[in-house]
Amino acid sequence: METRPAFDEIMGLSGDKPPRPELAALGRWLENTSGDELRRRQESAEAAFRQLGITFAVYGETEAAERIIPFDIVPRVFLHEEWTRLSEGLVQRVEAINAFLDDIYGEQRILSEGVLPADLVLTNPQFRPEIAGMRPPHGVWAHICGIDLVRTGPDDFFVLEDNARTPSGVSYMLENREAMLRLCPELFRSYRVEAVDSYPDRLLETMKSVAPRGTGTPVCVVLTPGHYNSAYYEHSFLADSMGVELVEAADLEVDDDIVWMRTVAGRVRVDVIYRRVDDDYLDPLVFRPDSMLGVPGLIAAYAAGNVAIINAPGNGIADDKAIYSYMPEIVRFYSGGEVKLPNVETWRCREPEALRYTLDHLGELVVKLVDGSGGYGMLVGPTASRDEVERFRAALIAEPHRYIAQPTLALSTVPTLTDTGVSPRHVDFRPFVLTGANGVQVVPGGLTRVALKEGSLVVNSSQGGGTKDSFVLVPDGPVQNMGPSGMTQTMGGMRQEQN
Amino acid sequence: MRLSIDHRTTYRFSAPQARLVQMLRLTPPDTHDQTVAHWKINVDRDAHMRHGRDGWGNRVTMLYVNGPVTSIEIAVEGEVVTSHSDGVLHGAGEPLAPAVFLRATEATLPDPAITAWAQGIGGDAQPLAALHAINTALHERSRVDLKRPETPLAAGAAFGEPSVTPRDLAHIFAVAARSLSIPARYVSGYSAAAFLGRHAPAPHSWAEAHVDGLGWVGFDPCTGRCPEEDYVRVAVALDAAGAAPVAGSRLGVGEEDLDVDVTVSRQG
C-alpha cells in the first residue's frame, strides 16, 4: 500500500540489516533469541496482565467482552539525544496547552487578537461556559497530558492528538516495563534504561504541588466511576501505587464549599482529586443532572478555590480535533517562539479549499471526524474499500465542518513478533507529561501502540492494536561491557539503578 | 419603580433525607437599571450557605443541610428599584461573549418547524425588527399556561403544544433567534406584568437576544413586549436548567413534593 519505505526505529531507514549502530545489541538479541522463546515470554506477560485484570472494553461490541490489549515483547528504544529533543517539544506544547486553557476561560486574548476563529471555541461543545471565570489552584489546568505522536524519521516526530482530559494508558507503561524486566533482563544489561517506576511518585508530587491549602499534608484521592469502567484497573492501580484512597462519588460530600471524604473515622478534608470521571458527570448541579457518578457541589468547592481537580474541568477544548489544527498558532502565540514539535499537516474541511483538496485526494488521505475517537468514524484512504471511500465522500459533502483530513504518513515501524516471525509493524507513541505548580516534566517512557496487522496504520486498541515497552536510554548509551560489573540488576521486578 | 418580591419554595420529602445540597440562583444582580435595595434568603432550618458565581456570571448561593430533614422552606424576600430601559440591558457584568449563546442545549435543540416559522417571520428583516416580529408572533400564536411546568419539554415539542408555559416560550424564542444566527438566552426572574397581585406558582421567565450595536435586549413572549421596569432579572443561561432558581440534590430515598409561591408587588 505504501510508496515510501518506512523508517524502522531499530533497523534504520534501510529496513533491513544491519540495525542502527546504537541499537546493534538489540539487533543481536533479536537475532539470537528464537521465535519460540520470544513467544513464550510474550505469552507469560499476557497471562500476568490477564490475571491483574488489565483489560479494556470495546465500544460498540454487543457482548461487552473485556479483552486484554496484546503485548509485544520487542521493545521500542529512544536514544538519549532523540528523547531530549522530543522532550523540549513536549514541554513547549504542554505549557501552551495550559496557557491556552487559562486564557480561554479567562480573558480570551487569543480570540480578541484573532489567532483563532472565535466561533470555533465559543460554540464548541468542549468549551464549557459553566466553569467560565473559574481558575484552578496555581493556574494549572492540564496536570496530566498524553500527547499522541507519530514518527517518520530519526528526528521527525509529529503530534497526532493532544489528550488533556483524562488520558489513560499509563498503567500499560508501568506494567509493560515490569514484564520486560522480569522476562528480558538481559536487555537491561545491554542498555541503561531510564526508570519509569517513579511515575506514581511524580504524579503524587504533582498533585500535592497544586493543593489549594499551603499548610499541612494535602489529602489526595483518585475518583473513579466504579469497577465497571473499562479503565478501572488503572484507577485502582494508580491509587494503590500512590498510596491514596480510591473513592467513588458516594464516598465524597461537599459541605460549606469544602470537599470531604467519608471514612469510618469521620470526615476527612480532601484537597486534590484525580478524577477519572468525565466533566459531564462531575457534578449533577452543574453538568448532567442525572449523573450518579458525580459529587453535588464539587464545582462550587472548585470555584471557591477549596479543591484542585485533576485535570481541571473544561479541558476538552484544548484537545478538541477542531482546535488541534490551530495548535501551531496556539503554541506560537503563548510561547512567543517557533514550534518545536509540529502537527501532522491537516486540512480543515470546514474551509472550502481544504474540502476540495480532500475530495480530490480521498484515496491518499486519512479523514477523521472532528468529534470522533478511538479510530471510529475514520477513513484510511489507501486501505479503504471503494464503498468506504464513497460513503465518506457523501458524508464530507453533507457535513464538511465535521471532518479533518491528514496525509497518510509513512509511520515508523518497530520489529514485532508476528505469526510468521519478527517483522516490522507501524507504531505510534503516547508520552505522559506532568504539570505541577513548579513546572512541566516529561516522564522518560510512555505507551507505544503497535498496529499488529501487516501494513496497518491503525494502532487503536479498539481496532486490534497492541502495546510495547518504550525504552529511553540514559546518556551513556549502550553498556559496552556485558560483564557483571556494569550490570543493571532486576530483583522482583524492581530495577536497582547501577552506580 | 420599587418592586417587592416574596418567593417561597418548599420541599417536602416522603422519607427523611440524610443531606441536601442545593444551588440557588435567587439573588438578582445590580445593573444600570436594577438596584437591589434589600434582599434576604431565609431557610427554616440549620444550613450552611456560601455565596459565589456560576460560569454564566449569575449570583449563586450554595445551601448545605445535614439531615435528617423531612422538609425545607427557602424564603426569599427583597426589594428592587428599577428604571425604564426600553428592554435594553445596561451595566450587567457579562463574563461570556455573545456568540456563546448561539449554542444549543437539549432543551433548545434546533428544530425544523421553529426554524421555518422564524425564517417566515424574520428571515428578511434586520435583527432587531426580526426579534420584535418573532416576539409578537409567538405571543399571538400561544395560549399561555401560567402553572408551574411539570415535565420539562424541549422547545421543538413545546412548539406543537396547544398551551405553553413561560419557560417553553423563552426556549422557543431562543431557538427561533438562534436559527437566524442571533445569540439568545433564557432569563429567570420576576415580573409584576405577568403576575401582579397574584400568587404565582413559579418565578417568571423570558428571553434576551443580542443585537450588534445595542447589546442584550429582553423579549417576553408571554406579553409580546419587551420587559420593562416591572421586571427583575435574576439569572441567565442557555436554557432553563442552566438558570434554574433551585438545582438540588438529596441523599435519601422517597419522593419529594415541591410547592412554590411567588408574589411581586409594586411599592408606589
Q: How many residues does chain B have?
A: 268
All residues of chain A having their beta carbon less than 8 Å from the beta carbon of residue B23 are 285-286, 297, 300
Q: pLDDT tier at A125 (50, 70, 90 boundaries)?
A: very high
Higher pLDDT, B166 or B195: B166
Chain A residue with CA closest to B97: the answer is A122
Determine the average pLDDT of the residues in A444-463: 84
Burial of B136 (0-12, 13-18, 19+ CB in 10 A): middle
Contact criterion met (CB < 8 Å) for B95 and A133: yes
- Which residues of B touch chain A, with CB atoms under 8 Å apart? 19, 21-23, 48, 50, 52-57, 60, 62, 64, 66, 95-97, 99-100, 102-103, 238, 241-242, 247-249, 251
**Pairwise CA distance, residues A376 & A389, whole Å:** 15
Find the distance separating the first CA and the last CA of chain A, reported in whole Å: 48
pLDDT value for A461: 67
Angle of helix A170-183 versus helix A199-209 axis, rounded to 10: 150
User: Is the pLDDT at A485 greater than 50, yes or no?
Assistant: no
Chain A residue with CA closest to B23: the answer is A285
Determine the average pLDDT of the residues in B170-184: 98
User: Is the pLDDT at A62 greater than 50, yes or no?
Assistant: no
All residues of chain B having their beta carbon less than 8 Å from the beta carbon of residue A130 are 54-56, 242
All residues of chain A having their beta carbon less than 8 Å from the beta carbon of residue B55 are 128-134
Q: Pairing between strand A71-78 and A465-478? A: parallel
Query: Shortest CB distance from A285 goes to which of B52, B238, B249?
Result: B249
Could you tell me which residues are beta bridge partners of residue B206? B187
What is the value of pTM for the model shown? 0.91
Question: Could you give the 3-state DSSP secondary structure of residue A382?
Answer: helix
User: Is the pLDDT at B21 greater than 70, yes or no?
Assistant: yes
Contact criterion met (CB < 8 Å) for B55 and A123: no
pLDDT in tens, B5-20: 999 999 999 999 999 9
Question: Could you give the 3-state DSSP secondary structure of residue A38?
Answer: helix
Single-letter residue type at B60: V
Average pLDDT, chain A: 87
User: Taking the C-alpha atoms of A397, B98, B161 and A285 in order, what is their torsion angle to the nearest 10 degrees?
Assistant: 100
User: Is the pLDDT at B98 greater than 60, yes or no?
Assistant: yes
Could you tell me which residues are beta bridge partners of residue B124? none
pLDDT value for A202: 96
User: Is the pLDDT at B181 greater than 80, yes or no?
Assistant: yes
pLDDT value for A6: 83
Contact criterion met (CB < 8 Å) for B56 and A129: yes
Q: List the single best residue of A111, A285, A299 to mutate versus B (max B Cβ within 10 A).
A: A285
Higher pLDDT, A374 or A234: A234
All residues of chain A having their beta carbon less than 8 Å from the beta carbon of residue B238 are 129
User: Is the pLDDT at B41 greater than 60, yes or no?
Assistant: yes
Average pLDDT, chain B: 93
Determine the average pLDDT of the residues in A206-216: 88
Q: Is there a contact between B227 and B87 (Cβ–Cβ < 8 Å)? A: yes
Q: Pairing between strand A308-310 and A272-275? A: parallel
Residue A312 distance to chain B (closest CA, Å): 14
Q: pLDDT tier at B182 (50, 70, 90 boundaries)?
A: very high
Q: Is there a contact between B187 and B243 (Cβ–Cβ < 8 Å)? A: yes
Q: Pairing between strand B163-164 and B184-191? A: unpaired
Residue listed under C-alpha cell 531499530? A10
Q: How many residues does chain A have?
A: 499
Q: Give percent above pLDDT 70 in chain B.
A: 97
User: Is the pLDDT at B50 greater than 80, yes or no?
Assistant: yes
Size of interface A-B (CB pairs under 8 A): 82
**Pairwise CA distance, residues B111 & B20, whole Å:** 36
User: Is the pLDDT at A483 greater than 60, yes or no?
Assistant: no
Count other Cβ atoms within 10 Å, centred on residue A269.
Answer: 15
pLDDT in tens, A409-428: 888 999 999 988 899 999 99
Q: Is there a contact between B101 and B210 (Cβ–Cβ < 8 Å)? A: yes
Q: Give percent above pLDDT 90 in chain A.
A: 69
Q: Domains of chain A (ranges plus CATH)? A: 345-408 (3.30.1490.270)
pLDDT value for A401: 86
Determine the average pLDDT of the residues in A357-379: 81
Contact criterion met (CB < 8 Å) for A255 and B48: yes
Q: Domains of chain B (ranges plus CATH)? A: 2-80+246-266 (2.60.40.2250), 84-237 (3.10.620.30)
pLDDT value for A498: 33
All residues of chain B having their beta carbon less than 8 Å from the beta carbon of residue A122 are 96-97, 99-100, 102-103
Grid coordinates of A172: 500499560
**H or E stretch at A496:** strand A494-496
Residue listed under C-alpha cell 426556549? B171
pLDDT in tens, B197-253: 577 888 899 999 999 999 999 999 999 999 999 999 999 999 999 999 999 999 999
pLDDT in tens, A323-350: 999 999 999 999 999 999 999 999 999 8
Evaluate the CA torsion angle A347, A350, A356, A361 in order and state its sign.
Answer: positive
Q: Is there a contact between A166 and A230 (Cβ–Cβ < 8 Å)? A: no
**Pairwise CA distance, residues A418 & A395, whole Å:** 36
All residues of chain A having their beta carbon less than 8 Å from the beta carbon of residue B53 are 133, 303
